[in-house]
A and B are shown apart, each in its own frame.
Chain A
Amino acid sequence: MNMSHKPSLAIQILVSALFLMLLSIPIILGLKLKDPEVKKSNEKGKNDALELFGFYLEEAEELGLDFKHQSPKLDNQLDHILPQIASVGASVSVCDFNNDGWNDFYLTTSKIKESNALYQNLGDGTFEDVAGELKVGDINKTGTGVSMGSIWADIDNDGFEDLFVYKWGKPELFLNIQGNEFKSISKQSGLPSWINANSAIWFDYNNDGNIDLLVGGYYKEGINLWQLENTLIMPESFEYANNGGRNYLFENKGNGVFKEVGQEKGLASTKWTLALGAMDFNNDGFQDLFIANDYSVDELYMNMAGAEFKEIGKESRIGYAPKSGMNVSVADVKNDGKFSIYVSNITEMGILLQGNNLWQPVENSDQIEFKNNAGVMGVELGGWSYGSQFGDLNNDGYQDLYLANGFISAAKNNSYWYDYSKITGGNKSIISDATNWPAMEGRSQSGYQQNKVWVNNSGGVFADVTEYVSGLPPYDSRAVAMVDLWNRGVLDVIVANQNNVVSVLKNLTNKVNNWVEISLEGTESNKSAIGAKVTLVWAGHSQSQFVSGGIGFSSQNQRRIHFGIGENTSIEKLIIQWPSGKQQVIEALEINKIHKIIEGDENS
């Protein structure tokens, strides 16, 4: 830039001063901002948390839990990057498998010859691992792969929840025989012999009353990670990868038999699926699908009355910008009957700022359209985020949010991020070959990160209260499940941690707020009532939830629907929209009680 006209000294000084002021802004902000990773938890103490926010999540001890997740050892050709390949597999699913009214939970481990665990709730604050006795634990056998997650649903409508375990390997399906034993029906069920899956959900896609199964593929199904034919197993792109595993839709034909109909129903994509969500986005009575994909855009499939699924990710805006989708959780965060979808991604300061997404339906739109409001709602910045769940942790009538963070915690102050950013910026021909990936050499990547807890300050604006309400060590957390473990009318939290113990967080509340829990049983609808939408109306408020067959990364919450109602002491009504299409309205439900409601039974 040439300047023939020399500016006055005053102008030069003014512009220079402005320049210096602008330069100083990032420096000052950097000095003021604390590194979120080193924020001390439990700074304010339990009592302060109870007073300020109404709850505190205390790590429960002496529960009888003796479980530690372990990652797999894979083909030697992946040794140099094993920690990041074998970085998933810790999961938790909640279920009352023996119908004794106490929530049990199933944990997966991911090492060959190590056993998964089914912790039966003994009702006295302790748990017993009955997986061995009930023969649902020892499924990580040599040659069959390792477990990645599990989900429960009553596939034969006999009143007992059955168990599906998805793996990098042979998926396993167990029929629950009266809560006393489990019978493997994997062989005869029609499931394939090998899927490299990291997600699955139960949902009744055709509303025929039999619960169906959707399984999301991660690595291509033809890849055996223990016996690689070659090292071309990595994503072909950090943002546009289509070389992942296929997704499977298994239609329940009854009698424990499933028929795979994914391709013919339009679920043909081969992205790297990490999480699934099923709910009715357009209120047509059929469950639609939200698919969170790693290394690509997320997808939204509209269920066309069970005939097929139509993908509208781009049109709805949720499938426009590629990120690293690792979770789908859904809630009516504004208590307006509209469901928001939370998708976790990766945020690493100074390197990768994807931000988590909170997709909210656009008002007054003729079509299904969402807007990402995570930033304005305050839930955008997590870390390397995995599972998350909504739940009313303080029973004030608004859905709060718990988020699992942390990727690989190894050598401190020694990060793999530089090498990771080097390779992931490259072209398909380079990135897709594991041989080209720099060795990790014991380095961490987004490790030692704190999980996050956000309180919903009504209207869907969230406040980060992590340092007040939670003292959990910075594990590499993966899956989160909300469950009333002690039947106190309070949502506790179970967190499955990679290569570590499971965290059971007992929710200590200030006992000021009231609640109600709803247990649904379908008759025309599937017995598990998966897909039922429940709306509670009380004191000028209302909130909707739905019964899910698995939601969140590698997790499943308790089946019972939990509502907090604040200090209000009465409920106006409960409206249930059953998957069969029937609607049931129950007036004046008693508060602070667990209610069992059977479809069509007016006496429930």
Chain B
Amino acid sequence: MTALRLSGIGHAYLGRTVLDRVDLAVGAGEIVALVGPSGCGKSTLIHVAAGIVQPLRGRVEIGYARHGMVFQEPRLMPWATARENIAYPLRLARIARKDRRARAEAIAQHVSLEPEDLDKFPIELSGGMRQRVAIARALASRPDFVYFDEPFTALDVALKRRLQDLVISAAQEARFGALFVTHDLFEAVRVAHRIAVMEAHGQGLVGERVIDGIPGCRADRTVFETVAGYLAEDRLFRHVNDIDERRPP
């Protein structure tokens, strides 16, 4: 069964084409990592899939019931406590205040947020904690699909690893599918079942690789060797680390 199917997606900002003829399908319960060099249109594609951006061309077919999303920045409401932020999707779904509280607290425990943190405002939390709140918010409405838009790029290595583990275990437990945008191949190989690689200028996908084993059960050594193998021998990943920082985003 397909949870998400993108066909022939094309988009342009002010006449500048950023995406063209992108086709991608994600199965139910499958985690697909979408990699590509900076500025290749990964973020635009995930925004299109999540319904934030209306594509100029193409079709988005949705086979899941509900989705959540984690952004690169936490995007928390600064005036609301961590608890209210986590419960925001439930508020949008018009769930009663008392149930919202209970569910937000349950999911917070899941992502290792202490009860006393829940009464704090985002500004009182560290960067890692804020991103934990953002993950809890994405999972609060018990989605069967989650979009991750480079969620851990701004975090340090140790924190990144812990939050990746958090996502992997949450995905296994809640059995949600996910589209995980990243430009970090290690991250992609750790969390995903399959890696899709985008063309450097958003002209569709250039290919994909299914990663051996299942996320969370791969030894670090295997992850390193897989990534090293991709970068050294696989033509598909040749352009992934190419960055032209002078190009406008």
- A and B together in one complex: no
